[in-house]
Amino acid sequence: MSTHTLQDVNIDLGTPAETSETPSAKPRRWWNPFQRSDAPRRPWLRRGRALEELRAEHLKLIETIEQLNERISAREDNPSMELDPMPVIRGIESISSGQAKISESLESLNGFMERASASGERLTEAVSQVDQTLVAVQGTHSETVGALGQVSDRMDDVTLRFETLFDRMAESEKSLAEDYRKLQHRTLLSVAAISAAVIVVLSLFMTAPWA
């Protein structure tokens, strides 16, 4: 069985008192802006290994206790049997050591849970800020939509006025063209009448007795 304990794994979990002084130089990813720059990659794997070590220590402790119980039961069943005290002493020492390791492992896991809780609180605060930002954006969007609606209504009003003005200009152009045709017709009639009068005067002048 491995002798690796959670005291060693505690370094992998990123305890502030035992982490390396050299932070990771990896930049923050855009999909995880709340991750610390010195956070270990895939910490859940290390947490899983820590839990496995805790279970192993617990099983080892139970196994040692069962062996001691077997020896004590055998001694009680056969009082004449000599009982070697060294295995019992080693078992007791193993139990004490296992309890100490389990206590250290539990402390490490408690520290990890505290850091996870703090991270959850920071994440909750960040999500709250994001929600507030989204509410503000929605309010701004509503105001923008309302302003665009007003601008659209004004544009429709201006377009209607321009259409009315163009219609009036077209009617004025038609009226001016009609007046021009009438004036041209009258001018031609006047010129024809003047020409006829001149011809008549010349004819009378040429046929006069004194001519």
Residue 127 above 80 pLDDT?
Answer: yes
pLDDT at 8: 39
- Domain ranges in the chain are 6-129
Tell me how long the chain is.
211
Q: Give residues with Cβ within 8 angstroms of 12, minimum separation 6.
A: 40, 43, 46, 49, 50
Which residue did the predictor score with more confidence, 23 or 179? 179
- CA–CA separation, 103 and 138 (whole Å): 51
- CA–CA separation, 90 and 64 (whole Å): 9
Residue 22 above 50 pLDDT?
Answer: no
pLDDT at 183: 92
- CA–CA separation, 14 and 18 (whole Å): 7
Q: How confident is the model at residue 4 (pLDDT cuts 50, 70, 90)?
A: very low
Name the residue with tokens 């000599």.
82
Q: How confident is the model at residue 123 (pLDDT cuts 50, 70, 90)?
A: confident
- CA–CA separation, 2 and 156 (whole Å): 81
Most confident of 36-45, 86-95, 116-125, 152-161: 152-161
Residue 2 above 50 pLDDT?
Answer: no
Task: Express the helix, strand and coil content of the chain in percent, nearest 5 each.
Answer: 80, 0, 20
pLDDT at 7: 40
Q: Would you state the structure tokens that stand for residue 17, as one six-digit string?
A: 């008192």
Which residue did the predictor score with more confidence, 140 or 73? 140
pLDDT at 9: 37
pLDDT at 180: 92
* Residue closest to 108 by CA, chosen among 57, 166, 65, 42: 57
Do 55 and 25 contact (CB within 8 A), yes or no?
A: no
Name the residue with tokens 């999500």.
127
Name the residue with tokens 């009036």.
168
The whole-number average pLDDT for the span 116-130 is: 85
Q: Give residues with Cβ within 8 angstroms of 87, minimum separation 6.
A: 67, 71
Residue 121 above 60 pLDDT?
Answer: yes
Do 11 and 19 contact (CB within 8 A), yes or no?
A: yes
What are 198-207's contacts with CB under 8 Å, separation 24+? none
